[in-house]
Structure 1
Amino acid sequence: EQELRLKRKAAERAFEVQAEKDRTLMRLKELRFLATSTKDLDDDDAYWIKKQKRLIINK
């Protein structure tokens, strides 16, 4: 019973660590996207990127 509890706790911790890693990677992708320059893009693409940036910043 003790061993089963320890295994369950280890599995829960591994899940939490993976979830945190996923959140960190997503945030890094968002930060990289926020650094995207729109100066060389056409108006439609620049508008879409600026809109997405606002969504990221406001979440």
Structure 2
Amino acid sequence: MTAGAGGASGPAGAAGGPIEKIAAADPFAVEGVCAYRITEFYATKTATELASYREQLPS
């Protein structure tokens, strides 16, 4: 990771409009201190405790 870079994971199925609205309303984003890049991914491998969140790749 480079200086100033960060990362986070969101809840399954949260990609799309609502998450972009939340990021855009963040006070740091509003003031131009940071910018968000939303990347959707499929959690095909998880820890055993998170097995109920595993997803299948679309056909």
Please tell me the TM-score bracket, short chain as reference.
Answer: under 0.3
Higher helix share: 1
TM-score norm. by structure 2 comes to 0.24
Larger Rg: 1
